[in-house]
Amino acid sequence: MKVGTDGVLLGCWAPIAGYRILDVGTGSGLIARMLMQRCPEAIVDAIDIDPDAVEQAKENGVRAFQARLQDWKLDIGDSYDLIVSNPPYFQNSLKNPDKGRELARHTDSLSYEELVKHSARLLNENGQLAIILPAEAETEIRELAARYCLYCSRVTRVYSKESKPVRRVMISFVMTTLRNDVMTTDTLILEDEKGGRSAAYSELTKDFYL
């Protein structure tokens, strides 16, 4: 599993909310490792359905388990403060002949609705879900999340360049019985005019990029 920009962005951007964290679809364990660095006292669980990915995450020092989110359970009374995911996102495209990459990129293994439904099941009443998705999925994921009492608290729209259309969206949802009508929106442009990292991108990732 390669280190991708999406994972780096989410690992830097996700709110550190409490001390019990779950990384869904961990791959190499990138996001889990970043959260462990940001909050050394946190207990970070990481799950993936690909056994090779789980072994790689373990080699990278992550507490990783081969499991589907749909089947993941905690002890009675336990819950998560934060769930993060860079989920599969190809819904209607050709499958990759590489089985590992297919699992990592297609929603067959974890639909958006399953992601929000089971996150809601595992979060505590003040827990948060933080994800990164293609920009065109924003409306769908927000509508799905609201069905399970996950309300949008922050949206960051990511552009590769200022002149390009929005590419990705990072969204943080709050698990609460009271609807949260206060939502923060902002933008992040990855490249400056010369094609290098923008000042905002460099600031966000400064603790992880050399």
Q: Does the residue 85 lie in any domain?
A: yes
φ/ψ of residue 169, rounded to 5: -135, 130
Q: Report pLDDT for 91.
A: 43
Per this entry, what is the length of the chain?
Answer: 210
Confidence of residue 1 (pLDDT cuts 50, 70, 90): low
Number of domains in the chain: 1
Q: Per-residue confidence at 178, pLDDT binned at 50, 70, 90?
A: low
Are 69 and 110 spatial neighbours (Cβ–Cβ below 8 Å)? yes
Residue 150, domain extent: 5-205
CATH number at residue 168: 3.40.50.150
Could you give the CA distance from residue 79 to residue 89 in angstroms, rounded to a whole number?
26
- Statement: residue 193 has pLDDT above 60: yes
For 32-79, the pLDDT digits (tens) are: 999 999 999 999 999 999 999 999 999 999 999 999 999 999 999 999
Evaluate whether residue 210 is within a structural domain. Answer: no
Close Cβ partners of 8 (under 8 Å, ≥ 6 residues apart): 30, 34, 205, 208, 209
> Does the global pTM surpass 0.85?
yes
Query: Using the 8-state DSSP alphabet, how is residue 20 labeled?
Result: E
Identify the bridge partners of residue 168 per DSSP, sorted by sequence position: 134, 158
Q: Do 87 and 115 contact (CB within 8 A), yes or no?
A: yes
pLDDT exceeds cutoff 60 at 29: yes
Assess whether pLDDT exceeds 90 at residue 119. yes
Residue 109 pLDDT level (bands cut at 50, 70, 90): confident
Residue 151 lies in a domain: yes
